[in-house]
Structure 1
Amino acid sequence: MGKKRILLKIGSNTLTKETNQISRGKIEDIGRQIAALKDDFEFIIVSSGAIAAAKQFVKLEHNGAEINVKQALAAIGQPHLMRIFQENFRELGLFTSQCLLSYSDFEKPASKVNISNTINVLVANNFIPIINENDTVATDEIKFGDNDKLAALTAALLQVDLLIIATNTDGIYTKDSIDQKKPLTIKSVTDLAELRAEINNDLSSHGTGGMQSKIEAASIAKEANIETWVVNGLKENFIVDALNNTNNHTKIL
């Protein structure tokens, strides 16, 4: 049957563990789980965090628009982010590769074929593709989405078996439970309209997504017949626990 393919999207809040710097411990946790699962699953990662990585090292002086500064920070931070992934994963016997994409790539048939072919070759040779938006030329995910939509488009293009979106909550909560300050996870759902009615439009602290962009990502995946799980990436062992169904998360069937 072959291995099942998982696309794992990691947001900035997960990578920083809601601090002001990239958490090597969290990246090690992700790598350790991938290493433990590699006999049965192959992973493709869509990772935010380039801007957060840069902020650890530099403070840019500027007179231009804020979005241009964020693009510059992404250009500085992306190599640092990849270095942290490479160092931590290599210690676990995992090999990494970098792919920078933008939305326009998904609008051109030739580009889509090239993306698919390249990633398939990398995965076949045991290199984990780590994908981010090409922030130097594109601003969509900087402004809104935190790579959620990019992850869904990539998942659909590659026809993965499962899209896991790691965030900072135990999945998606019911609106009433949030109002009562007793968050209750929606375990599974098929109707996205039903799910949209349960969420608010708050954005995450480091990222630019929030639950709205995750539901939009799930709708793209759903059209491609791909299941989406929204999982709490702040917790240790979150991928393995989700696959074993031993943690609270939301499955969008």
Structure 2
Amino acid sequence: MKKKRILLKIGSNTLTKETNHISRGKIEDIGRQIAHLKDDYEFIIVSSGAIAAAKQFVKLEHNGEEINVKQALAAIGQPHLMRIFQENFRELGLFTSQCLLSYSDFEKEESKINIKNTINVLVSNNFIPIINENDTVATDEIKFGDNDKLAALTASLLKVDLLLIATNTDGIYTKASIKNNTPETITSVKNLASLSNEVSIGKSSHGTGGMQSKIEAATIAQKVGIETWIVNGLQDSFILNALNNTNNFTKIIA
């Protein structure tokens, strides 16, 4: 039986559990769920967190632009981030691999074919691709979208069965419920224009995206028939709970 393919996007707030350092416990939680599901599902991960990983180890002296400092932090933090993934996943019998991509890679047909072929080889050999933007040469993720768009473009290219975006809320809340301080999750929606009207412009503390970038990602996925789930990654077992429909999250129907 052909395995279903999930592209899991993990934002910085999920990976740090809203602290100032990467949570090994959260990465272990993600690995444990993947290990539990590996007979039926194959996973591709798009992970932010390189800058957050670097901030645990260094404080850079600088005279340059803030964006250059963030690029330098990403260069320092990316190997640490991958090491934490590798160590935690290996203990669970899972193998990892690193793929650094830029948005420009999705504009060239040859690059797209290469990405697709490489990731398919990795997955077929039981290596989990862990994708991040190549922040040292590109600044799109730092400036614009916390990897949400990168995740959607990758999901679209690989024709995955599900785009699962882990964030720090129980999906998207209705605007009225946020005003009343009684957050109520929009559980299922097809019309993305109406969903945009419910979203505030605010951004999360570590992340650069906010809900608008997640809706834009879902729009890319929806165009090629991929369903998007926006799930609270801070909860333990959030992937299993979403697949079993036992937690509140937003399902954006293809």
Q: Bin the TM-score by the shorter chain.
A: over 0.9
Distance between the aligned counterparts of 1:209 and 1:178, measured in 2? 19
Question: Which residue of the partner structure matches residue 203 of structure 1?
Answer: 203
Divergent runs of 4+, >4 A: none
Distance between the aligned counterparts of 2:20 and 2:136, measured in 1? 22
Question: Which residue of the partner structure matches residue 241 of structure 1?
Answer: 241
Question: Which residue of the partner structure matches residue 48 of structure 2?
Answer: 48
- Percent identity (aligned): 83
SS class of match (1:164) = strand
Distance between the aligned counterparts of 1:231 and 1:103, measured in 2? 25
Distance between the aligned counterparts of 1:157 and 1:66, measured in 2? 32
Distance between the aligned counterparts of 2:22 and 2:199, measured in 1? 28
Instruction: Provide Cα deviations, 1:9-29, integer angstroms capped at 9, x if missing partner.
Output: 000000000000000000000
Deviation of residue 144 (structure 1)?
Answer: 1.5
Question: Which residue of the partner structure matches residue 141 of structure 1?
Answer: 141
Instruction: Provide Cα deviations, 1:112-143, integer angstroms capped at 9, x if missing partner.
Output: 00000000000000000000000011000100
SS class of match (1:33) = helix
Instruction: Provide Cα deviations, 1:74-127, integer angstroms capped at 9, x if missing partner.
Output: 000000000000000000000000000000000000000000000000000000
Amino acid of the structure 1 residue aligned with 2:189: V
Name structure 1 gaps, 5 residues minimum: none
Amino acid of the structure 1 residue aligned with 2:67: I
Distance between the aligned counterparts of 1:14 and 1:136, measured in 2? 23
Question: Which residue of the partner structure matches residue 80 of structure 1?
Answer: 80
In the TM superposition, 1:1-253 aligns within 5 A as 1-253=1-253
Distance between the aligned counterparts of 2:51 and 2:250, measured in 1? 28
Distance between the aligned counterparts of 1:103 and 1:171, measured in 2? 26
Distance between the aligned counterparts of 2:102 and 2:243, measured in 1? 30
Distance between the aligned counterparts of 1:204 and 1:145, measured in 2? 11
Amino acid of the structure 1 residue aligned with 2:210: G
* TM-score, length basis structure 1: 1.00
What is the aligned length?
253
Amino acid of the structure 1 residue aligned with 2:145: G
Distance between the aligned counterparts of 1:59 and 1:224, measured in 2? 42
Instruction: Provide Cα deviations, 1:18-66, integer angstroms capped at 9, x if missing partner.
Output: 0000000000000000000000000000000000000000000000000
Distance between the aligned counterparts of 1:225 and 1:61, measured in 2? 47
Q: CA RMSD in A?
A: 0.3
SS class of match (2:79) = helix
Instruction: Provide Cα deviations, 1:184-204, integer angstroms capped at 9, x if missing partner.
Output: 000000000010000110001
SS class of match (2:203) = coil
Instruction: Provide Cα deviations, 1:168-221, integer angstroms capped at 9, x if missing partner.
Output: 000000000000000000000000001000011000100100000000000000
* TM-score, length basis structure 2: 0.99
SS class of match (2:155) = helix
Distance between the aligned counterparts of 1:191 and 1:236, measured in 2? 30
Distance between the aligned counterparts of 1:196 and 1:108, measured in 2? 30
